[in-house]
Amino acid sequence: MLLYFRTGVRRVWLLPTLFQAIKGRSRKFYCSMAEAAPSYEDIQKISDFLLTKTKHRPKIAVICGSGLGGLADIVEDQNAIDYKEIPNFPRSTVPGHKGRMVFGLLAGKTVVCMQGRFHPYEGYPLWKVALPVRVFKLMGIETLFVTNAAGALNSSFNVGDIMLMKDHISMPGLAGDNALKGHNEDRFGPRFPAVSDAYNSELRQLARDIGKELGFESFMQEGVYVQVGGPSYETIAECKLLRMLGGDAVGMSTVPEVIAARHCGIRVFGMSLVTNMVVMDYDAKGTVNHEEVLETGKRRAQDMQKLVSKMIAQLPGQ
């Protein structure tokens, strides 16, 4: 039996070589297999698990953006569950995202807040980024508030402005990546859902009215959010392109959550905090950085909290 062969003066042992080849191939095969999205039943288990950890039964969910998690801290009578305690749930890895699910009362209404979201640049496929929204659906959520930190593409905006989202442009979506890619689970929604009305117009009107009441008019805007992949911020040429396409603000999140929510019939209110102006000029000094993003979040946090709380207070139901 041939146990080895020669390459020049070297003797190559056959069995170990064969073993290494099989091991390498199986690793390659394993790596090339995309992680399967969880089934409806798997998502039901996550939802059931969460409901065993709290007496609260919310119909309203809030996803807090970078530096905007303070809203969850003002939730009363709260039960907070770390993401790492939740079976088959992703982890938050980004500074400014605590990684907790907070159940309790906000403005007298039962809510659940995600203090920390997931982003594609953390290495998560879009279905995983959007997984919490499906968990929410199975918990009975009917209305989703999404917030994010974003850079202003619109030069008439200022740092600290709150932009009500009226629409989005998804660069990953246009390039073929979407939270709904893959097998469609009909129990959540249709294969081809419409998203032209993704951002609920009545909730936007409510935000405008409450913004007026609170004296926020001078820093309230309305516009189109552009989702990019990140984690690098945009080049000057990219910012010019996104502005030409009709974007008012740019960030690396939110859209997968919104698409998953609309797919399963949850109504959505979206809001961006303008944490920085994007760099549009080759002579500009300075660049964008995440510390600046978190700092602006802190400065405007209370106003965002007031707006969201007052809106939630006016929603029907408990």
Ligand X SMILES: Nc1nc2[nH]cnc2c(=O)[nH]1
Residues that bind ligand R1P (CB under 6 A): 65-66, 94, 117, 119, 148-149, 230, 251-253, 290, 293
Under the binding rule (CB under 6 A), the answer on residue 234 touching ligand X is yes
Phi, psi for residue 243 in degrees, rounded to 5: -65, -45
Between residues 49 and 121, which has the closer beta carbon with respect to ligand X?
Answer: 121
Q: Which of 119, 53, 128 is nearest to 88 (CA)?
A: 128
Q: Which burial class, exposed, middle or buried, applies to 228 when counting CB atoms under 10 A from its CB (0-12, 13-18, 19+)?
A: buried
Please indicate whether residue 309 is annotated as part of the active site.
no
Q: Select from ligand X, ligand R1P, none the partner in contact with residue 278, using the beta carbon and a kind-dependent cut-off of 5 to 8 Å.
A: ligand X
The residue with its CB nearest to ligand R1P is 65
Under the binding rule (CB under 6 A), the answer on residue 276 touching ligand X is yes
Q: Which of 175, 181, 177, 149 is nearest to 263 (CA)?
A: 181
The residue with its CB nearest to ligand X is 151
Give the count of alpha carbons within 13 A of 233, CB side only: 19
Q: Which of 72, 80, 107, 149 is catalytic?
A: 149
The Cα 256–Cα 240 span in angstroms is 24
Q: Select from ligand R1P, ligand X, none the partner in contact with residue 119, using the beta carbon and a kind-dependent cut-off of 5 to 8 Å.
A: ligand R1P
The Cα 309–Cα 306 span in angstroms is 5
Q: Kindly tell me which residue out of 293, 307, 308, 312 binds ligand X, with binding defined by CB under 6 A.
A: 293
Between residues 190 and 229, which has the closer beta carbon with respect to ligand X?
Answer: 229
Contact pattern from residue 148 through residue 187 relative to ligand X, giving x for each residue in contact according to CB under 6 A and a dash for the rest = -xxx------------------------------------
Mapping DSSP to helix (H, G, I), strand (E, B) and coil, where does residue 105 land? strand
For ligand X, the binding residues (CB under 6 A) are: 149-151, 228, 230, 233-234, 250-252, 275-276, 278, 288, 293
